[in-house]
């Protein structure tokens, strides 16, 4: 993932709420959410919807990674029939939803996609992955081509079902392209108004009604501390002497 656009928008709309990004392996992302190590994450579908909410964002193109001198490199797009006679590596952390990839199977399955890339470079076989992974593991001696007739990987924004805080909603709105004035988003002036309302409630002691001080007594002053929960992608909330929101 390259969430730089969403991070920039977050910083513009909520400059007082740091957004902490955490890079994790695809296989570990769901566990990180369940353990509370992050408030939201970008995952590949499917995810366990009994515990996690998810919004599909886009579907990736599937490509085959080959050495630059392979015959496949001469074409712009290939089919599974074009690589039927090649050894196709199937790493244990494969992100595509299939039981058996096309082509001939290798004797052993590589442990990771990174290991499979090394084997492709050594001329052991080919590798089928979503395009983003081919870019992530780019090497000068390898290339990739669009492959048709295979499953495709869907990327989604996901978060724990029971932890949909206001800040998580803010991040969802940014990722989905809502404007700052969207009816489903919380505008900065609304957040300010809520803070003022909370402070007024704390000062009066009762929501929506002020109590006049008794004669002869001066009104007691009071302050309001704003409590917030964590939100955003891969973030944690910490409290210190001065409350500070994290997302």
The better pLDDT of the pair 194, 40 is held by: 40
The CATH 3.40.190.10 domain(s) of the chain lie at 1-57+154-186+228-247, 61-152
Question: Tens digits of per-residue pLDDT, 74-109?
Answer: 999 999 999 999 999 999 989 887 888 899 999 999
Q: Is 127 helix (H, G, I), strand (E, B) or coil?
A: strand
- DSSP classification of residue 242: S
Residue 189: how many CB atoms within 10 A of its CB?
10
The band of 114, judged by pLDDT with boundaries at 50, 70 and 90, is very high
The rounded distance, in Å, linking the Cα atoms of 191 and 88 is: 53
Residues in the chain: 247
Place of tokens 């001065």: 242
Q: Which of 126, 115, 123 is nearest to 86 (CA)?
A: 126
Give, in words, the CATH class of 61-152: alpha beta
Burial class (CB in 10 A: 0-12, 13-18, 19+), 62: buried
Domain boundaries 1-57+154-186+228-247, corresponding CATH code: 3.40.190.10
Question: Tens digits of per-residue pLDDT, 5-33?
Answer: 999 999 999 999 999 998 888 778 889 99
């Amino acid at each position: 993932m390259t969430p730089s656009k969403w991070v920039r928008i977050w910083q513009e709309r909520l400059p007082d709420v740091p957004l902490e990004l955490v890079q994790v392996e695809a296989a570990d992302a769901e566990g990180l959410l369940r353990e509370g190590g992050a408030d939201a994450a970008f995952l590949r579908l499917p995810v366990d919807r009994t515990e996690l909410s998810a919004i599909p964002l886009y579907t990736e193109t599937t490509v085959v990674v080959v050495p630059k001198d392979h015959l496949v490199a001469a074409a712009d797009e290939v089919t599974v029939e074009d690589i039927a006679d090649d050894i196709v590596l199937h790493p244990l952390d494969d992100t595509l939803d299939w039981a058996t990839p096309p082509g001939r199977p290798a004797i052993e399955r590589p442990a990771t996609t990174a290991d499979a890339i090394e084997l492709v470079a050594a001329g052991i076989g080919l590798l089928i992955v979503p395009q983003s992974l081919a870019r992530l593991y780019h090497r000068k001696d390898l290339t990739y081509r669009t492959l048709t007739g295979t499953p495709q990987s869907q990327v989604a924004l996901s978060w724990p079902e029971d932890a949909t805080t206001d800040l998580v909603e803010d991040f969802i709105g940014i990722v989905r392209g809502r404007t700052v004035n969207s009816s489903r988003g919380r505008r900065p002036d609304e957040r300010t108004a809520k803070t003022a309302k909370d402070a007024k409630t704390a000062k009066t002691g009762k929501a929506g009604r002020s109590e006049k001080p008794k004669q002869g007594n001066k009104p007691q002053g009071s302050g309001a501390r704003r409590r917030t929960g964590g939100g955003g992608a891969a973030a944690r909330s910490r409290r210190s002497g001065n409350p500070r929101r994290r997302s």
